[in-house]
Chain A
């Protein structure tokens, strides 16, 4: 099997080591394009199926002059079993799975030691720009199981563990309830708050877990932890809360009332397992930014061409970090809006965007909406 040229490895590491949001856009684009082209060549050599896919794409990745013209994989391609891999089985250290809702197949991506390391570095590099570099006590709004090492790790545990490098000590404040659900360990929470009250503290929870198992129970009891210097991070999407008519404003007000902090201390970040090492917190303007080692493209669903500023479309994430699986260019199932291609007042350079919603499922009510024998599986009897 071929290896990634060491020169490319070095360039990836340089991008990771530098300031994440200060790259001049044109230079950033050129640098990223050439690294991605080298990575695609590497992936094509390692996996003939990818080579077949790349060759079928209308623009040759070798000749492309824009990242937008490079061949991308839809996120659904990562639901394959076995997962798409660019490394041998013995090199895989961990598999990450997405948080698929009931009945859906999760995405699975494989990590080797190099990609794992870069994943951690990537997340740290981005979050430092938002919460500062210091290590601090870390309140995990989840159960201790989420910290356990495992060959296969869900998105929730991956996010929790990804923040470990910011921690001086870790306290998990949820436990499994008698009915199998999660419940708050109030004594632990209060002890943590009493010990670190005014100190800088990091807290993280999956959005719906944080709301249901932490904010609501404490709010119900009228408890305020009085931790003004907390950084409360959360991720994992809003669908479940939106279904229960919990708005972002309601959520923020609830979290503020429980922690006794300013709303600016709450950071919602967007991320996906296929895009390892890259997270997208909101800046103080409410926008999301891409770091030096990544890019975002929002594609018009009608043409799949990049949209102009203000345009809505399918979000494609691009990253040079993964070398154990082909997650360089991934078309997500999310709708986003490009705010600008540079010049966000927060000072971060490059593309700023907003996540709008998941792609709504098409309501197919037509007379041609069928499943076929091939789809059902060859062993199932035909039906008339």
Chain B
């Protein structure tokens, strides 16, 4: 998908290679300028954007696309039913069609920033598309730096956009580029050329990108590293009728993105109940992990992850002070580490779930800090769940969802409006009283 271009050669916005390998700061600056001019010349309302995005989402089918992790979620995200409510909630009903709305003596209108630069994380295949769709909904043009490891996958995804959007309503205002993350000259050029930025990834990457020389007017939103946690009350995990369903949901949340996403559960807290044996639930969870592994086997693994999984198993069982247990196959396919206590252990990732018994779910939640992004819950009583959700929110958690839906992308994400953050809300007070 990627082609290396001659240094300094101008970039066309409708290249046959969907992710352009760039090599000079001048190319990036020129491309950003073209995008900016196009965005000004041809405004796009959220409704027009949603029309194209929905067609794009519907086109993401077929063996090559089904093999890309996260594509089912992407299809859901790009549906009108998902996007319209977000736009209405964040920008207001009138903004759907690019109209102003009245607020007292003034009129408010929503306008794009211009060119939004996207720096997605390297471990989520669909993140470049998720990120750019947010800025397109706000009427912006999108300049996306696709991590080198995701070029091929995103080339396939962008191909479909070009197929469904032959007039170029959105396709013309998206430019996906790739270059090594160590190319600071190109990172700087990209930062200097944008009016807004959406940055995703690990601590080091996010800090590095945030430190780039963005224009003083640029709006920068960073989605830094977080981890996520699952929790079940005793009624849920001891319910023989529901154990299997909940276990399958947990397995699904663990398997997505190989447990490397910020929304991946690393720990499952189970509330104790006197006289209840954990083993039947563990057996069900083990079966669910085995089943999910059969359905979605790993095709490759970094040797360091394999090594880390072996070490996590050993360290867990050799922990002197704890009566820990563990269940795992001979392969590094999955691991369940059983123990107790309210603290979240160091995540191993790679489908390694720590299952910790606690007396009360409120205990671990009271210890959460801003590091926990998503809390996946299975709590039978509404009032109890509302109480736990409130406590979690006070302790820094940004998303509280049902188990099995921990990766469902939506706005707000990490407590931030995804579309509104890349727009300007304009206030017009008419010069004559009406």
**A residues whose Cβ falls under 8 Å from a Cβ of B:** 49-50, 52-53, 56-59, 69, 72-74, 76-77, 80, 84, 301-305, 313-314, 331, 333, 335, 359-362, 364-375, 378, 382-384
Contact = CB atoms under 8 A, between A and B. Distances in A.
B344 A374 contact: yes
Given A304-B310, A304-B332, A366 B301 contact: no
Contacts of A365: 121-123, 147, 181, 201-202, 204-205
B228 to A, nearest CB: 8
Contact of B261 (A50, A314, A367, A373): A367
A77 B318 contact: yes
Given A56-B327, A372-B346, A383-B369, 7 more contacts: A77-B314, A80-B318, A365-B122, A367-B224, A368-B227, A369-B260, A373-B367
A145 B328 CA distance: 46
Contacts of B367: 373, 382
29 contacts: A52-B318, A53-B313, A53-B314, A58-B330, A69-B330, A74-B314, A76-B315, A77-B311, A80-B318, A301-B303, A302-B298, A303-B332, A304-B331, A333-B307, A365-B121, A365-B123, A365-B201, A366-B123, A368-B257, A368-B261, A368-B266, A369-B225, A369-B260, A370-B347, A372-B371, A374-B343, A375-B345, A383-B371, A384-B369
A375 B346 contact: yes
A307 to B, nearest CB: 12
Top 7 closest A-B pairs, CB basis?
A384-B370, A366-B123, A382-B369, A362-B304, A301-B306, A367-B262, A369-B202
A318 B110 CA distance: 68
B226 interface: yes
B133 to A, nearest CB: 17
Nearest to A71: B314
Contacts of B307: 74, 76, 301, 314, 331, 333, 359
Nearest to B350: A362
Contacts of B263: 368
A77 B324 CA distance: 16
Contact of A362 (B200, B228, B302): B302
A362 B305 contact: yes
A198 to B, nearest CB: 47
A48 to B, nearest CB: 10
Chain B interface SS verdict (over half): loop
B123 A374 contact: no
A52 B200 CA distance: 41
A74 B310 contact: yes
A364 B227 CA distance: 14
A303 B347 CA distance: 21
B203 A302 contact: no
Interface string B117-156: 0000111100000000000000000000001000000000
B330 A74 contact: no
Interface string B211-229: 0000000000001111110
Contact of B343 (A301, A313, A371, A372): A372
Contacts of A84: 318
Interface of B: 121-124, 147, 181, 200-205, 223-228, 257, 259-264, 266, 298, 300-308, 310-311, 313-315, 317-320, 324-332, 343-347, 349, 367, 369-371, 396
A365 to B, nearest CB: 4
Contacts, number: 171
A49 B320 contact: yes
Given A366-B260, A370-B347, A304 B304 contact: no
B344 A373 contact: yes
Contact of A331 (B224, B310, B327): B310
A305 B331 contact: yes
A56 B335 CA distance: 11
Contacts of A375: 345-346
B254 to A, nearest CB: 12
A73 B225 contact: no
A56 B317 contact: yes
Nearest to B227: A370
Contacts of A304: 306, 310, 330-332
Contacts of B262: 366-368
B347 A368 contact: yes
B328 A56 contact: yes
Nearest to B333: A303
Nearest to B305: A362
A73 B314 contact: yes
A313 B331 CA distance: 13
A368 B330 contact: no
Contacts of B315: 76-77
Contacts of A369: 202-203, 225, 260
Contacts of A366: 121-124, 201-202, 225, 260-262
Nearest to B202: A369
Given A367-B202, A368-B349, A303 B305 contact: no
Interface centre among A305, A333, A362 (most CB of B within 10 A): A362
A162 to B, nearest CB: 27
Nearest to A362: B304
B260 A303 contact: no
A126 B328 CA distance: 37
Contact of A359 (B201, B304, B396): B304
Nearest to B302: A362
A301 to B, nearest CB: 4
B317 A301 contact: no
A107 to B, nearest CB: 12
Contacts of A370: 203, 225-227, 347, 371
Contacts of A383: 369-371
Contacts of A53: 313-314, 317-318
A345 B328 CA distance: 40
B262 to A, nearest CB: 4
B335 to A, nearest CB: 10
Contacts of A57: 330
A305 to B, nearest CB: 7
Contacts of B123: 364-368
A86 to B, nearest CB: 13
A58 B329 contact: yes
A62 B226 CA distance: 43
Contact of A59 (B228, B320, B330): B330
Contact of B304 (A73, A360, A368, A372): A360
Contacts of B331: 302-305
Given A304-B332, A368-B123, A56 B306 contact: no
Contacts of A331: 307, 310
